Every structure is written in C-alpha cells, then in structure tokens.
C-alpha cells in the first residue's frame, strides 16, 4: 500500500469560511486550474465555465462555493485575501459580467450562467466534484475535474488521492499501531514523532514558527469573534451570541488586548459552570466568524474549526498553558490524530456526515489536551478514541445549506466532549480499554458507508428539512 505523507500544515490550514470542503477546496481547485490555463497562455482563453456536482451543488450557495471558485479564478489567495472585500469583489463581477483571470486576462463571465449547479448529478469518486471548462480562441477546449475530499484537500481526476507531499518520512504512520510503534521504538512522544517527520519538509525552527502562526490565527479568530455582534449572513437571521456572552462573563471589565482578556478569564475562576460557559463562548466565537466568511483555521475542517481552538484556549486560560512549547505540543499531537482519520476514514461530511468533522476535531483536541496535561502516549490515543466513540453516526444536516444551524453549536459540544475524554483518559489505565483508536476509525468509516446520503451535507435530511425555511425564502 502506498504511504501517504501528511504534514501538520495539511491538517491545519489558514483559510476563509464557511466550509473547507465547499469553500476552501473549490477555491484551491480553481487556483490549480489557473496553472493549466497559464501553461496555454491566459491570452488564449475565450471563456470559462464551472460545473458543480452532488453536495457542492446542493449546498453550494449556502457554503459560498460559487464565491470561492470565482475568487480562485481571479487568482486570489484564501490565506491572505482581505475578507472585507469579498462582497464588493463579487458584486463588481456580477455587475460587469467580466472576470480577470489570475489578475491578467479579462474575459466575459456571467455568474448566473457560467456556474452550473447540477443538483441531481454526482460523480462516483466523491460527492464534492467540480469541473472547469475553458474554451480557447482557436476553438480548443480544456476540461479538468477536481474533487474536494474534505479538510481543504483537493484531488484532480486521475491523481491517486495521496496528496502533494509523497515524501519519505522517518516514521511513516498510517494508523494507531504505526504511531505506537514509532513512539515505543524511539522513546519519543506523539508531538516529537510528528516533529521528526516534519523535518522531511523543513527545519524544526520553521515548523515551530509555522505552528505558532496557526495558533495566532486561531487566537485572533476567537478574540475577533467575541467582539462582533449582529446577524449572520445568509438569510436564516441567526444572531451572533459570543460577543454578548463575553460581555456578560467579563462583567464589563476593561481590557485592551488578548493577553489582558486572558487574565480576566483566568480570574473568573475555574468552577465547572465557569469553564463550561467560557469553552462554549470560545467555540461559538470561531464558528460565528466562520459563518461570516471570515478567516479561520481548518482544524481539520472549517465546519469544525471551533473545537480545537476552544479546547486550546481552555488549556491556556484555565490550566496555565500559555507557553509556546506547550501550544506547539498540543497542535502537533492533535494534527497526527487528524492525519490518522484522514488516512483511515474521511474528513469529509459529504462522505461521512458530521462525525467526520466535529467527531474528528473532538478526537484531535482530546489527544492534544491529554498530551499537554501530562498524559502518556496511550492515554492520548485513548482520549482520541473516547471522543470519536461518542460522535459515531453524527449526521450533517445544515439548515438551508448554511454552516450555521446546527453547525455552530455542535462545535461547543465537540469541545466539551474533548475535555471530558481527556479527563477520562488521564484517570484511566489504557491497558484496560476494550476499544482502540484503530477500532473506532474503522467503525467510523463503516458507519459513513452505511449512512444514508441525505445525511451527508446535502440539506435534504434531518434538521435541514424540519425547519420551514430555505435559501429561496431568504
């Protein structure tokens, strides 16, 4: 079997909400298509059309898939693009019926007719499929199909699906057994094994700096989210709650920056109710930002972007964990768990329901928290198993195709379950566990295969059909 080499920066990616598979993935696919057009010469392009299949079509409007492919074709970078310019950029293209490919070649482009939503068609490899069609001035046509397979990972038709980093790692890991063997043979913990593997791509200092950059993005997202009120976009009229909760919990205390805010949180006490309130607030803040097309970290997806940051912020605020090395250890450990789920199951809600998003993120956060609280390698893996075990079968049923109801609140649930799983593992003997992480990964995948397609990010089942509203009503 071909080994798949996944970096921490494949699991954690800075991007724009609301969905890693329906926004970030298609955006990256459009950027890859630009590479093909560049090889032909942008000046030779006469027109471009995009076909969206399956889940990308059914929930594409709510997830901003159309917006993502447009900005991708414009050559914008989701990591750096100013999120405040999204609406103006799209409105300009709609008003002029023109797009500038890669900021170089202007062509006619009608957002109503050149993006086609094929609601009843799916391609066999993956429900999240899109095809780019380009007609050249000489009459030739170019067609490329991509699959957004979850967590911002993109596979082009004909590729093997093993990603872009097929490098030889000192500790190749496909599952829990491989990870245990690597740790036992080397005497290293999970984070150290990950760091050794990352050396195949870059230096230790570069990896540490990159991980801290990921943390900065998570921290900034939480801090931004707890200071913005109002109604979320999309038409459901969902009220943002994180800012109101933050104001209530801080009781009007004045602060000027993140560090001062953290001290206030710490001083509110560490009772069960207090920590529960704050963890929920942290998670809400991130996913309200995500729903607002703001900048988040895919962890491992956008729909589940609030779980890992919320648990990490809990560690910083209530466990005195505001140290770079501890933050790095947390995130490296969490990333390896996400990698194992990606290899053995899926990170795509369109393939596995929300167990593939909230479930995986909770499992990642549980392992990360256990590691920095002094847990052994086996306790970290036990925590990861416990967290996923209690998300098995979780469906993805976004109301009106938006990443809002029930998605935002689900991040609070995933974060709390992660903390609970960590505490259980820390006070348990993993030798007595009857279920392994590999068992639960296999079970999750089998559950995904058995799950009815309407519960896989189609907005055709569950809560999505119980709420009497659709985007056409908005």
Provide the residue count of the chain. 474
Q: Is pLDDT at 472 greater than 90 in this prediction?
A: no
Domains and CATH numbers, the chain: 17-156 (3.30.1330.90), 176-473 (no CATH)
Report residue 474's pLDDT band, with 50, 70 and 90 as the boundaries.
Answer: very low
Number of CB atoms found within 10 A of residue 111's CB: 14
pLDDT score recorded for residue 159? 82
- 356-378 pLDDT, tens per residue? 999 999 999 999 999 999 999 99
Give the helix ranges, DSSP H, for 199-271.
204-225, 242-250, 258-267
Query: For residue 471, what pLDDT is reported?
Result: 46
Q: How far apart are CA 69 and CA 27, in angstroms?
A: 5
The dihedrals phi and psi of 162, each to the nearest 5 degrees, come to: -95, 20
Q: Which pair of tokens denotes residue 186?
A: 């080397």
Q: How confident is the model at residue 165 (pLDDT cuts 50, 70, 90)?
A: low
Mind listing the pLDDT tens digit for each residue in 42-72? 999 999 999 999 999 999 998 999 999 999 9
Strand 115-118 to 45-53 pairing: parallel
Q: What is the DSSP letter of 235?
A: S
């Amino acid at each position: 079997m071909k080994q798949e080499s996944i970096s921490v920066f494949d699991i954690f990616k800075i991007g724009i909400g609301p969905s890693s598979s329906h926004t970030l993935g298609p955006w990256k696919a459009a950027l890859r298509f630009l590479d093909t057009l560049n090889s032909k010469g942008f000046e030779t392009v006469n027109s471009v059309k995009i076909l969206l299949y399956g889940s990308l079509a059914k929930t594409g409007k709510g997830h901003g898939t159309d917006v993502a492919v447009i900005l991708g074709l414009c050559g914008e970078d989701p990591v750096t693009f100013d999120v405040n310019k999204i609406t103006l950029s799209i409105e300009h293209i709609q008003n002029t019926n023109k797009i500038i490919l890669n900021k170089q070649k202007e062509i006619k482009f009608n957002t109503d007719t050149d993006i086609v939503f094929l609601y009843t068609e799916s391609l066999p490899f993956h429900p999240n499929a899109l095809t780019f069609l380009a007609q050249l001035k000489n009459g030739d046509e170019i067609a490329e199909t991509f699959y957004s397979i979850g967590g911002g990972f993109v596979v082009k038709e004909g590729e093997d699906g093993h990603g872009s980093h097929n490098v030889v790692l000192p500790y190749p890991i496909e599952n829990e057994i491989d990870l245990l063997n690597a740790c036992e043979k080397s005497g290293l913990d999970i984070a150290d094994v990950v760091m050794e593997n990352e050396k195949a791509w870059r230096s230790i200092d570069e990896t540490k700096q990159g991980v801290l950059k990921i943390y900065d993005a998570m921290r900034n997202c939480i801090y931004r989210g707890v200071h913005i009120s109002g109604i979320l976009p999309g038409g459901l009229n969902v009220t943002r709650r994180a800012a109101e909760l933050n104001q209530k919990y801080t009781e009007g205390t004045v602060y000027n920056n993140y560090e001062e805010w953290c001290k206030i949180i710490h001083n509110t006490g560490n009772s069960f109710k207090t920590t529960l309130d704050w963890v929920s607030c942290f998670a809400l803040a991130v996913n309200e930002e995500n729903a607002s097309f703001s900048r988040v970290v895919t962890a491992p997806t956008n729909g589940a972007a609030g779980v890992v940051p919320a648990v990490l912020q809990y560690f910083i605020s209530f466990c005195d964990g505001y140290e770079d090395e501890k933050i790095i250890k947390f995130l490296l450990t969490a990333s390896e768990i996400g990698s194992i789920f990606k290899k053995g199951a899926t990170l795509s809600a369109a393939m596995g329901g929300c167990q593939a998003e909230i479930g995986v993120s909770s499992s990642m956060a549980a392992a990360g928290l256990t590691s920095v609280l002094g847990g052994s390698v086996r306790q970290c893996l036990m925590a990861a198993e416990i967290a996923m075990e209690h998300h098995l079968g979780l469906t993805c049923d976004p109301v009106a195709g938006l990443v809002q109801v029930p998605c935002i609140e689900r991040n609070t649930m995933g974060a709390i379950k992660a903390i609970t799983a960590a505490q259980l593992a820390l006070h348990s003997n993993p030798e007595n566990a009857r279920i392994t992480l590999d068992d639960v990964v296999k079970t999750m995948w089998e559950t995904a295969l058995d799950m009815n397609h309407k519960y896989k990010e189609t907005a055709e089942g569950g809560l999505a059909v119980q709420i009497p509203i659709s985007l056409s009503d908005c």
